[in-house]
Amino acid sequence: MLKCDPVTAVDEMQRLPFLTSTIVLFVFALTDATHARELRKVDIDGVPRTYALHMPKRVASGMPLVVVLHGKGGDGGTDLENLGWQDKAEREGFIVAAPNALSSYDGVEPRRDLTIRDRLRRTVRDWRGQNLAQWDGGANDQALIAAIVDEAARQYAIDRSSVYAAGFSRGAFMAQVLAQKMADRFVAVAVISPNMEPAPSTPSRPVSFLLLNGDGDPVFPLGARPKYILDLWRTYNGCPAPSDSHPAPPGMKIEAMGPCRDGTVVEYVVMAGVGHEWPVGKPFALRPSMQSITLDVIVQVIFGVETSARRDELRRHILAVTGLGRNPLVLFATRDRRLGSHAPWARFIRARDALHAALVSEIRQRRDAPDLEQRGDVLSQLLLARDDEGRAMTDDEVRDELVTLLFAGHETTATSLAWAFDLLLHHPRALSSLVAELDGGASEYLDATIMETLRVRPVVALVDRHVRQAVGIGRHTIPAGAIACPNIYLVQRRADLYQDPAAFRPDRFVGQTPPAFGWFPFGGGIRRCLGASFATFEMRIVIPEVLRAVTLRPVSRRPARVRREAVTFVPHDGARCVVTARSQPTARPSKTP
């Protein structure tokens, strides 16, 4: 682990070492979270808001509080779990809270003429700041964070002089707002790679300020922007000129100003090799990132959920079920009730029942929605559907359809995306052809790449069908009542259907359609996966977006091995790769998939 306690040797930094060490952890995500977190709800100006809270096992009065602000499209609970805040809080004895921003749809009626792509972009969470010139009013994010601090003070008697805020990207914008507008509540803030700055506004009192970014960050590059921000805070806090040299751990450069008014410090830290989002130069697994994307899409678009509180609740239940259901052998081996309520099977049943209850609650609320007939999401369409006799589906029937969509369109699509990148990175010619086509605004090779990925790496190995009446296939007769299981994996690798069938060659599908009954990764017949079109559409959006944003290289020389996870085939290592460079924003071609 990178050790950074304290980051500087000067006496004036007495109030910042705690914040500096925790923020380094935030950027590098050096530990795995193992402790539980709690999702809390609070009403702000009539708008339901949520935040994740982690309490150390040993709670005492006078503990510090750290407020963590996620980036655009992020999630507070995910940050606490994935970035190591929970373990850090346990070791050092502080409370950590991670509020959730709102999306453009929260409390706002979505326009009916928006495309799916535009809807997706409007469902990402973002901080609004409140009462600042560069951002519309919208939700009162300042009031939310004030409520979190006040509740922690009432319930846990936190040390009011030890309240810190740390924000990344758009959350860094919000952290600057807090330092300006709520200086009476925060002793120090850490601003990490901000992608915008609030209008200048002198805080009511000096606040120690840490600005941190990487030298590989195109969103917040080295140069004029850091100097502008530092000059502002130097003025706010009445700081002297920065020191020329400052002790720093390897890979870091530190510029400090202090002592400033009231003993505060302004500090600027540059970290070598660090980018804006995915870590530059550090191996990581792609599949978890893809799972996060596809889960947000399912919850926000397919389910039609438009408020953060309901989204958070559904996400929490979904992740609980998927996490416990990844090893069905363990579940079935622990079905004996005598094993108690903490056995894997018992925990799975509780998680499943909680998910079902949340879905049924959502279904019943949606049935009563006055605009049900005007809505275009899948849930609303299922509620409006009628059979030949004019009967609607029951709540349980709709729930089962939603569960099918969820697990067929979330985990499987994420896995297909991970396989696509793993194969492309290990086949440079195919990757170059795809990038060249995308730069020209075409999509034929992209479609071929998706088809070839699903052929050579189908996520599900087989499908099953119940035979209603005896049927003859060649010299074989399958009796009525039997279960027939066409093997997707083997059929799509038949040498009589595909030349060099084991090779990844997207060219085989350029201008060509798959052979009849030789390509069926989504099954076939009238019971073909109902999420097939949406899954491929989602892949057509995500793959180009990633390739435009970053340059990737694989960690290993060979593609990932196939590992079985429940009924799916997944990359054994999560499709590990490295970001070697980030692309500068450019104008996109007018023709997009």
SS (H, E, C) 236-268: HHCCCCCCCCCCCCCCEEEEEECCCHHHCCEEE
Provide the b/e sequence for 7-43 (b: ≥16 CB within 10 Å): bbebebbebbebbbbbbbbbbbbebebeeebebeebe
Mean pLDDT of 266-295: 76
Rounded Cα distance, 439 and 442, in Å: 8
CA-wise closest residue to 133 among 200, 225, 50: 200
pLDDT (0 to 100) of residue 226: 81
Residue 122 in this model has a pLDDT that exceeds 60? no
Rg (CA), the chain: 26
The pLDDT of residue 22 is: 38
Average pLDDT of the residues in 71-82:
76
pLDDT of 399 > 80? The answer is yes
User: To the nearest whole percent, how much of the chain has pLDDT over 70?
Assistant: 79
Say if residues 97 and 165 touch (Cβ distance below 8 Å): no
| CB-CB contact of 314 with 305 (8 Å) | yes
Angle at 128 between CA 291 and CA 545, to 5 degrees: 35
> Residue 478: its pLDDT value, please?
92
Least confident of 94-108, 288-302, 570-584: 94-108
Report which listed range, 238-252, 423-437, 459-473, 545-559, is most confident: 423-437
Average the pLDDT over 494-505 and give the result. 94
498 neighbors 508 (Cβ within 8 angstroms):
yes
Query: Domains (ranges, CATH) in the chain?
Result: 11-277 (3.40.50.1820), 285-304+375-453+510-582 (1.10.630.10)
CA dihedral over 416, 421, 426, 427, signed as positive or negative: positive
**Any idea which of 223-227, 297-301, 459-463 has the lowest mean pLDDT?**
223-227
Which residues are bridge partners to 477 per DSSP? 472
Please report the pLDDT score of residue 68 as a whole number.
94
**Is the model more confident about 584 or about 300?**
300
What local confidence, expressed as pLDDT, does residue 34 receive?
Answer: 39
Greater confidence (334 vs 97) lies with 97
**Interaxial angle between packed helices 411-425 and 395-409, expressed in degrees from 0 to 180 and rounded to the nearest 10:** 10
Q: Which two tokens stand for residue 482?
A: 């039997």
Residues 301-347 have pLDDT tens digits of 777 766 656 776 787 788 788 877 777 777 777 777 777 777 888 88
Q: How many CB atoms are closer than 10 A to CB 295? A: 23
Q: Residue 242 corresponds to which tokens in the numbers above? A: 């920065």
pLDDT of residue 245: 56
The helix/strand/coil state of 211 is: strand
For the cut 90, the answer to whether the pLDDT of residue 163 exceeds it is yes
C-alpha distances (whole Å) from 108 to each of 2, 114, 122, 490, 543 are 44, 14, 11, 49, 30
How close are the terminal C-alpha atoms of the chain, in Å?
42
Bigger pLDDT: 30 or 153? 153
What is the rounded average pLDDT of the residues 89-108? 78
* 75 close to 125: Cβ distance less than 8 angstroms: yes
**Tokens standing for residue 528:** 């073909």
Handedness of CA 313, 316, 319, 325 (dihedral sign): negative
What's the mean per-residue pLDDT of the chain?
79
Q: Are 255 and 243 in contact (CB under 8 A)?
A: yes
Segment 368-398, tens digit of pLDDT: 888 888 887 888 989 999 988 899 999 999 9
214 SS3 class: strand
User: Residue 107: left (phi > 0), alpha (psi -120 to 50), or beta?
Assistant: left
- Helix pair angle (444-456, 428-439), 10° resolution: 150
Alpha helices in 368-410 (DSSP H): 378-384, 395-409
The DSSP code sequence of 538-583 is HHHHHHHHHHHHEEEEESSSSPPPEEEETTEEEETTS-EEEEEEEP
Contacts of range 589-592, beta carbons closer than 8 Å, 24 or more positions apart: 589/438, 589/439, 589/440, 589/441, 590/441, 591/441, 591/442, 591/443, 592/441, 592/443, 592/544
Whether residue 5 is predicted with pLDDT greater than 50 in this model: the reply is: no
Bridge partners of residue 565, in order along the sequence = 568
**Which has the closest alpha carbon to 141: 313, 308, 311?**
308
Answer for the pair 38, 148: CB distance below 8 angstroms, yes or no: no
Residue 241: is it exposed, middle or buried by C-beta count within 10 angstroms (0-12/13-18/19+)?
Answer: exposed
CA separation for the pair 533, 526 (Å, rounded):
14
CA 259 vs. chain centroid, Å, equals: 39
Confidence label for 215 from pLDDT (cuts 50, 70 and 90): confident
Q: Which of 90, 119, 116 is nearest to 22 (CA)?
A: 90
The structure's pTM equals 0.59
CA distance 32 to 42: 28
Contacts of 587 (CB under 8 A, 6+ apart): none
